[in-house]
Structure 1
Amino acid sequence: MRDCLQFYIDGKWVDPIVPKTADVINPATEVVAGRISLGSVADIDLAVAAARKAFPTWSLSSREQRLDLLLAIQSEYTRRHGELGDAITEEMGAPKSLAHGFHVGLGAGHLQTAIELLREFQFDEQRGSTMISREPIGVCGMITPWNWPMNQTCVKIFPALAVGCTMILKPPQLAPFSVQILAEILHSAGVPAGVFNMVQGSGSVLGTALTTHPDVDMISFTGSESVGVQITKDAAETVKRVGLELGGKSAYIVLDDASMAEKVGAATAAMMGNSGQTCSAGSRLLVPSARLEEAIAVASAAASTVTVGNPTGNVAMGPVVSKGQYDIIQQYIETGMSEGARLIAGGPGRPEGLDKGWFVRPTVFLTTNDSVIAREEIFGPVLVIIAYDDLDHAVEIANDSNFGLAGYVDGLDVETCRSVGRRLRAGWIGINGGFDFHAAFGGYKRSGNGREWGEFGFHEYLEIKSLVGYA
């Protein structure tokens, strides 16, 4: 049992003002794994006051001071790598290999990137007689989701620390354990009092308290479109900057060449990673019409080889995060079947032999782009295959979406991949498996606004001041 019953405020572990707890359920066993305290508006007020008090000093700290802190955090993060991985497996069901690998590794990558950038980042730039100065925006409220707890948290905290902001983190209620360890890491590394604060609890209570608080200068949110819209409305009353990374229904275009079968198989397996709970997942697989049946056969075979089971074992896919998430995914699978989509693999219910835990069968449909399952984000291991006639048609299908978070293009002709990628209306385009911590990450259209990752993440937390006549 993990009990996370204190908050981190003003450099200390403190009890909630009003004692109230909630159970955290292990999604693989449906057994209570621990408890967290549920914070109140009063707890947020204390955290904001601490961050506000710390800002004048931390915002004027030197580059060297901030680098020393990030390096100390890196040492602690490395030391507790295994604990973080175990917590992620327990709280949200990621297979052990994935939790200890990519999950924890993403957080480490964002930390290393912040360190590299801070060493050389240009905060001041003289243009003629004017000095352009980039200064920390102030007190930041950060609201993070459960699906990639280290990635989504570290991509906010470390750039904000690096540029001199102070912050209040509201972690995900469904996956709070790993972030509690991260707060312990920051404390052990010597983060100054008030610079980083964390209050666990309900998003509807704490998120609203942060987004409406007059002493919070910026909100950075990763999550659903509906919540992002509400945050934007709430933050408008005090004219806060709002950074949003929301949902996606990303197209994965496979070119018609000798690598098609290999690429279809890889795209299908990738969709099932993290139980499909990835906002940038390539959930619409676009394949050439002339080779549709071949693609279907490959995708079916790939889905059938995905091992599902206890995430502490040697499996490719664990459960989804909660019963609520399981029920939503089941509804979408039923919708796909009822609207006439062709079921290629998987289907409703748990995989055979699993009668406990929120396990979903790796599912593949053949459908059209106007179907519900092709237009709405399912956030589970459900892939839809859509046929295209030529590359113009593929681009048209890919861009026919309310979302624009990511897109993927795979094929042997790199120039063609580049050309198609440039035409996609999305913020992150992966070409043949490309990945880069320094690339900007964020969405077009209803997938949000602003950019995280690399140097672009630094700019999220900076104001620009012009000192005219400086020379």
Structure 2
Amino acid sequence: MLEKRQFYINGQWVAPKHAKDLEVINPSTEQACAVISLGDQADTDAAVAAARAAFPAWRDKTLDERLSYIDALLRIYTERADDMAATISLEMGAPIDLAKMAQSAAGAGHIKTFLRAARGFAFERPLGEHAPTTRIRYEPIGVCGLITPWNWPMNQVTLKVIPALATGCTVVLKPSEIAPLSSMLFAEMIDAAGFPAGVFNLVNGDGPGVGTQLSGHPDVDMISFTGSTRAGIAISKNAADTVKRVSLELGGKGANLIFADADEKAVVRGVRRCFGNSGQSCNAPTRMLVERSIYDQAVATAAQVAQATAVDLAEREGPHIGPVVSAAQFDKIQRLIQTGIDEGARLVAGGPGKPEGRDTGYFVRPTVFADVTNTMTIAREEIFGPVLSLIPFDTEEDAIAIANDSPYGLTHYLQTQDPARVKRVASALRAGMVEVNGKPLGAGAPFGGYKQSGNGREGGVWGLEDFLEVKAVSDWQ
């Protein structure tokens, strides 16, 4: 079993002030694969103090100087990409092929995109021709507490750490205590890249502990958090006393609007996207809204895709889905599947219990419900598992109303061959992102949502701006 009790503070791996061990569980086996320590207030204070002390010198480096460190980090990350994929697969159960092609690769992709965005960003610019001596400056906000989730570890770590460092901020990272090993590997890469002491710090801990200490800390200027809406609300309340900036990427309940003129692969694509990463993605299209004239066929197709979806160990190669991350997550998904049955949704694939032959591990049967109404619990709550709900609609207006009838507004999906409809519906959907006909958003597009899906945007220039203050200066000659 891996021994990973140390924290990375002020350029050194240090022992916790008071040991508090926590086992990291391999979700494929339900056995401990590592042990970490959870930090307490003294550890948090030491990391924040290191970041605060390092901030002036890091802020005052030129952009090229800061980016040279990130260039070095990218080289090291690329060299160790397979190590990162194996670590993510071990700690949170992503199948190894997915861990290589998407989980680990997302980190490298974001580093490259932020390097490009930063080099093209005007950190100093004139207000306009009407005011030639008024200057607008974008300056780093300061010390940033970064709290990241377990479901896409490097995707979220790089979406926060890289723009913060590029803009001149210093950081304290608290990764999920459920899947902390990839972030500790990332800290090794930061160390190997030679970043100055205190610029990047890592303290493991849970939400009520280190998470709360960071969000309420008077010397932390900003919190960037990805996780549940419930936790985001708690963080916002705790941060309010110090009036720090809070950027939140929270839950989702994505609607996938499939019109009768959609391409023939739309339903299959939608089911697979829902089940990807074992359904553990905030932007998963978990509500499939289907025009009534093709609804029965869509139900049959969705059931067939679910029944054909293999479930297997994370370490094995292949296109299967792996386990969900923990016993708590498994129990929550089982409860919601049973709730769907109890509330009258029609189960057409999967259901409660584990897949055949998978008695050990947190494995969930790929599940499809038909004849769901948007008032049912499974249509309202974020399940975070491989569970799809199909809902029929009659008109375009009906589809838009159902999609928008949600406390969330992260990503919606649209399948139609009518360009005019694409523009009408995409404009009417209350979400931060709309993916059309299976085409992904471009690299550097802003990631974030409306309503209880959070605030702020990650990725590209928007991700840089999240970590910057705006200053206006007059009489700039």
TM-score by length of 1: 0.99
The one of 436, 457, 461 equivalent to 2:463 is 457
Residue of structure 1 in register with 2:251 after alignment: 247
Residue of structure 2 in register with 1:31 after alignment: 31
CA distance in 1, matches of 2:94, 2:395: 37
SS at match of 2:265: helix
Residue of structure 2 in register with 1:83 after alignment: 83
Aligned-pair distance for 1:315? 4.1
Residue of structure 1 in register with 2:279 after alignment: 276
SS at match of 2:183: helix
Residue of structure 1 in register with 2:394 after alignment: 389
Residue of structure 1 in register with 2:418 after alignment: 413
Matching residue's letter, 2:97: S
Aligned-pair distance for 1:390? 1.3
Residue of structure 2 in register with 1:21 after alignment: 21
Aligned-pair distance for 1:418? 2.9
CA distance in 1, matches of 2:475, 2:109: 40
CA distance in 1, matches of 2:324, 2:26: 10
- Judged with a 3 Å threshold, the aligned counterparts in structure 2 of structure 1 residues 108 and 337 are, in CA distance, closer, same or farther, namely same
Residue of structure 2 in register with 1:193 after alignment: 197
- Note the 1:271-420 alignment, pairs <5 A: 271-313=274-316, 314-366=318-370, 367-420=372-425
- Note the 1:197-212 alignment, pairs <5 A: 197-212=201-216
Aligned-pair distance for 1:258? 5.6
Aligned-pair distance for 1:119? 1.4
Residue of structure 1 in register with 2:66 after alignment: 66
Residue of structure 2 in register with 1:110 after alignment: 110
Conserved? CA contact 2:175–2:204, under 8 Å? yes
CA distance in 2, matches of 1:206, 1:310: 32
SS at match of 1:451: coil
Give me the identity figure in percent.
50
- Note the 1:427-442 alignment, pairs <5 A: 427-433=432-438, 434-442=440-448
Residue of structure 2 in register with 1:158 after alignment: 162
Conserved? CA contact 2:205–2:211, under 8 Å? no
Matching residue's letter, 1:32: A
CA distance in 2, matches of 1:136, 1:315: 42
Matching residue's letter, 1:348: P
CA distance in 1, matches of 2:123, 2:76: 28
Matching residue's letter, 1:270: R
Provide the aligned length of Structure 1 versus Structure 2. 470
- Deviation string 1:251-285 (CA, Å, 9 cap, x unpaired) is 111121162x4101110011111000000111100
- Note the 1:132-143 alignment, pairs <5 A: 132-143=136-147
Conserved? CA contact 1:247–1:446, under 8 Å? yes
Residue of structure 1 in register with 2:186 after alignment: 182
Residue of structure 1 in register with 2:476 after alignment: 470
Conserved? CA contact 2:118–2:464, under 8 Å? no
1:229 aligns with 2:233: yes
CA distance in 2, matches of 1:175, 1:74: 22
SS at match of 1:463: strand
Aligned-pair distance for 1:417? 2.0
CA distance in 2, matches of 1:289, 1:337: 22
Residue of structure 1 in register with 2:242 after alignment: 238
CA distance in 1, matches of 2:190, 2:261: 49
The one of 164, 171, 174 equivalent to 1:167 is 171
- Deviation string 1:45-78 (CA, Å, 9 cap, x unpaired) is 0000000000001011101111111110000000
SS at match of 1:356: coil
Gapped regions of structure 1 (runs ≥ 5) = none
SS at match of 1:59: helix
Conserved? CA contact 1:364–1:382, under 8 Å? yes
CA distance in 1, matches of 2:74, 2:236: 33
CA distance in 2, matches of 1:291, 1:20: 56
- Deviation string 1:347-401 (CA, Å, 9 cap, x unpaired) is 0000111110000000011101111100111111111001110111111110011
- Judged with a 3 Å threshold, the aligned counterparts in structure 2 of structure 1 residues 212 and 113 are, in CA distance, closer, same or farther, namely same
Conserved? CA contact 1:418–1:431, under 8 Å? no
Aligned-pair distance for 1:411? 2.2
Gapped regions of structure 2 (runs ≥ 5) = none
Conserved? CA contact 1:2–1:177, under 8 Å? no
- Note the 1:246-265 alignment, pairs <5 A: 246-257=250-261, 259=263, 261-265=264-268
- Deviation string 1:137-179 (CA, Å, 9 cap, x unpaired) is 0000000000000001110000001100000000111101111
CA distance in 2, matches of 1:4, 1:428: 38
Conserved? CA contact 1:10–1:196, under 8 Å? yes
Conserved? CA contact 1:350–1:360, under 8 Å? yes
SS at match of 1:378: coil
- Deviation string 1:225-249 (CA, Å, 9 cap, x unpaired) is 1110111011000000000000000
CA distance in 2, matches of 1:57, 1:414: 51
- Deviation string 1:429-458 (CA, Å, 9 cap, x unpaired) is 111222222111111001111111111000
Aligned-pair distance for 1:412? 2.1
User: Could you say what the CA RMSD is over the residues aligned between the two structures, in angstroms?
Assistant: 0.9
Matching residue's letter, 2:293: A
